[in-house]
Amino acid sequence: MTKKISLLGATGSIGTQTLDILKLHQDHFVLEAISIGKNLTLGLEIIHTFLPKIVSVIDKDSCDYLRANVPSQVKVVYGEEGILEVAAENDADVLVNAVMGSVGLKPTLKAIEAGKTIAIANKETLVTAGHIVMSEAKKYDVSILPVDSEHSAIFQCLQGQDKKRLERIILTASGGSFRDKTRKELIGVTVEDALKHPNWTMGAKITIDSATMMNKGLEVIEAHHLFDMPYEKIDVVLHKESIVHSLVEFEDTSMIAQLGSPDMRVPIQYALTYPERLALPISKRLNLMEIGMLHFAPVSFERYRCLQFAYEAGKIGGTMTTVLNAANEEAVQLFLLKRIQFLEIEDLIEKALENHSPISNPDLETIIDVDRQTRSFIRSLV
Ligand SMILES: NC(=O)C1=CN([C@@H]2O[C@H](COP(=O)(O)OP(=O)(O)OC[C@H]3O[C@@H](n4cnc5c(N)ncnc54)[C@H](OP(=O)(O)O)[C@@H]3O)[C@@H](O)[C@H]2O)C=CC1
Ligand SMILES: CC(=O)[C@@H](O)[C@H](O)COP(=O)(O)O
Ligand SMILES: [Mn+2]
């Protein structure tokens, strides 16, 4: 049977790789609706190739422009209402959430209410409000399928296993673009250098997160929610090759890992075909003889302060992870705009966390409020 897909963030790194999968398996998937951001040129190309029924853009000007340039059967909508329509008000079976940032939260909740399966790449949504997302998913009996490579790895390792006997989750971390630098050597590093990830080609924000190791911090919180694991049982290990995508350990000491070439089309396709698998001839097969050796090493919280912030915020819980996420989104944006230095990212996040009095079990309105306040707090510091 053909699955109908709606896709948030179609013009991004995960978005375009999702489209690669849809193009490869046209007999299995059809693209029902998409949201795009500012990249209207690529948006138009996607629309003409896939002819989705609904397209959402950020503002009215972009909407007017697209309406004048797409076939009449394509409905173009905009703003928050528009992205919610793409997420929930259509015939899609699966929502692939590949937007960047906590802007993905409301559409995810709407799609859950509408009973859609969620394939989630957008980790910020789980970090800012994972407790709401997971409890809504339970209430509406909706599956949240991980797309993030580490979480897909864990999810794959857990298939057919007795989850009551799960002892530990081990997330692998590449160390990012500055993995071979000391803290002292991080002074004055450039945006251009920070954007050179050693193993993955990704959007700008996640690439910077990877360099600060906040990405792994966000992934620890993401794993806590997706797999209902306490923070004490989630570890991070440095693994510079990004071949072992993550591991699980059981009470009987057995460990299971998932390996593969660093190619996001693998976890994206798995989320779309789950519980089945399809061939993926466009991805490079792993040749262990060619690789020869894999490396693992402990992570230092002193070297990667953002990872420690994430564990601390996660353990406190409530609005603390909302602050962590919003402060990080704003600080990374400021770094990308060259308004702050690389090491100031973590300084700003630390200040936002110190400034906040956490609220436990926050509702959606509180989360949105705290997110907004945190962003303006960060901007007031620069
Ligand atoms: N890239 C990767 O390999 C991985 C990414 N992820 C996660 O997936 C998510 C997407 O990452 P990635 O694809 O790299 O990011 P990109 O920056 O490449 O793409 C982000 C997408 O979101 C759109 N977008 C950005 N801001 C807004 C907004 N305010 N409103 C509506 N749309 C918006 C962009 O539109 P436009 O470009 O048109 O402006 C683009 O389509 C992130 O949460 C990331 O952490 C997780 C694992 C791996
Ligand atoms: C591809 C993916 O899932 C990214 O989140 C990736 O894991 C980044 O790698 P590091 O954060 O380990 O550098
Ligand atoms: Mn990841």
Nearest atom, ligand 1, residue 121 CA? 8
Mean pLDDT over 145-172 rounds to: 98
β-pairing verdict for 255-259 and 117-120? unpaired
Ligand that lies nearest to the alpha carbon of residue 197, given by its number in the listed order: 2
User: 277 lies in a domain?
Assistant: no
Same domain, 71 and 18: yes
How much distance in Å is there from the Cα of 102 to the middle of ligand 3? 17
Task: Report pLDDT digits (tens) over 36-59.
Answer: 999 999 999 999 999 999 999 999
User: 246 lies in a domain?
Assistant: yes
Same domain, 128 and 200: no
Distance, in Å, from the CA atom of 187 to the CA atom of 90, rounded to the nearest integer, reads 49
Instruction: Specify whether the CB–CB gap between 140 and 116 falls below 8 A.
Output: no
DSSP letter, residue 297:
B
Among 316, 332, 357, where does a domain finish?
316
CB 173 near ligand 2, within 6 Å: yes
β-strand partners of 118:
95, 144
- Confidence grade of residue 33 (pLDDT, cut at 50, 70, 90): very high
Distance, in Å, from the CA atom of 378 to the CA atom of 326, rounded to the nearest integer, reads 9
Nearest atom, ligand 1, residue 16 CA? 13
Question: In Å, what is the CA distance from 109 to each residue of 5, 52, 118, 208?
Answer: 17, 22, 10, 27
CB 330 near ligand 1, within 6 Å: no
Same domain, 129 and 183: no
Question: Using CA positions, which residue lies closest to atom 25 of ligand 1?
Answer: 100
Q: Which two tokens stand for residue 336?
A: 């990308």
CA-wise closest residue to 176 among 154, 206, 156, 146: 206
Residues, CB-to-ion distance under 5 Å, ligand 3:
148-150
Instruction: Specify whether the CB–CB gap between 125 and 151 falls below 8 A.
Output: no
To test ligand 1's pocket by mutation, which of 46, 84, 99, 106 has the most ligand atoms within 8 angstroms of CB? 99
Question: Using CA positions, which residue lies closest to atom 29 of ligand 1?
Answer: 103
To test ligand 1's pocket by mutation, which of 36, 45, 55, 100 has the most ligand atoms within 8 angstroms of CB? 100
Mean pLDDT (the chain, rounded): 98
Q: Is 149 annotated among the ligand-binding residues?
A: yes
Q: Is 328 annotated among the ligand-binding residues?
A: no
How much distance in Å is there from the Cα of 219 to the middle of ligand 3? 7
**Where in the sequence is the domain holding 49, given as residue range(s)?**
3-146
How much distance in Å is there from the Cα of 242 to the middle of ligand 2? 8
User: 269 lies in a domain?
Assistant: no
Question: CA angle 201-205-209, nearest 5°?
Answer: 90
Share of the chain above pLDDT 90, in %: 100
Q: Which two tokens stand for residue 237?
A: 């290990």
Q: Is 219 annotated among the ligand-binding residues?
A: yes
CB 11 near ligand 1, within 6 Å: yes
How much distance in Å is there from the Cα of 79 to the middle of ligand 1? 17
How much distance in Å is there from the Cα of 207 to the middle of ligand 3? 10
Same domain, 79 and 135: yes
- What is the predicted pLDDT for the residue at 256? 98
User: 131 lies in a domain?
Assistant: yes
Among 146, 163, 197, where does a domain finish?
146
CATH number at residue 39: 3.40.50.720
Mean pLDDT over 105-121 rounds to: 98
Same domain, 140 and 158: no
Does residue 137 carry a pLDDT above 90?
yes
Same domain, 136 and 197: no
ipTM value > 0.95? yes
- What is the predicted pLDDT for the residue at 46? 98
- Confidence grade of residue 250 (pLDDT, cut at 50, 70, 90): very high
Mean pLDDT over 165-173 rounds to: 98
User: 282 lies in a domain?
Assistant: no
Question: Using CA positions, which residue lies closest to atom 11 of ligand 2?
Answer: 210
Task: Report pLDDT digits (tens) over 288-310.
Answer: 999 999 999 999 999 999 999 99
Task: Report pLDDT digits (tens) over 65-77.
Answer: 999 999 999 999 9
β-strand partners of 96:
7, 119
Mean pLDDT over 106-126 rounds to: 98
Same domain, 98 and 12: yes
Distance, in Å, from the CA atom of 132 to the CA atom of 112, rounded to the nearest integer, reads 11
Instruction: Specify whether the CB–CB gap between 66 and 55 falls below 8 A.
Output: yes
Nearest atom, ligand 1, residue 207 CA? 14
Share of the chain above pLDDT 70, in %: 100
Q: Is 97 annotated among the ligand-binding residues?
A: no
Same domain, 307 and 184: yes
Same domain, 309 and 180: yes
Same domain, 131 and 169: no
CA-wise closest residue to 194 among 382, 205, 13, 350: 205
CB 102 near ligand 2, within 6 Å: no
CB 99 near ligand 1, within 6 Å: yes
How much distance in Å is there from the Cα of 12 to the middle of ligand 1? 5
DSSP letter, residue 313:
H
To test ligand 2's pocket by mutation, which of 242, 246, 258, 332 has the most ligand atoms within 8 angstroms of CB? 242
Same domain, 8 and 56: yes
Mean pLDDT over 335-360 rounds to: 98
Does residue 1 carry a pLDDT above 90?
no
Nearest atom, ligand 1, residue 56 CA? 31
Number of independent structural domains in the chain:
2
Same domain, 160 and 129: no
User: 295 lies in a domain?
Assistant: yes
Does residue 234 carry a pLDDT above 90?
yes
How much distance in Å is there from the Cα of 98 to the middle of ligand 1? 5
User: 339 lies in a domain?
Assistant: no
- What is the predicted pLDDT for the residue at 314? 98
User: 303 lies in a domain?
Assistant: yes
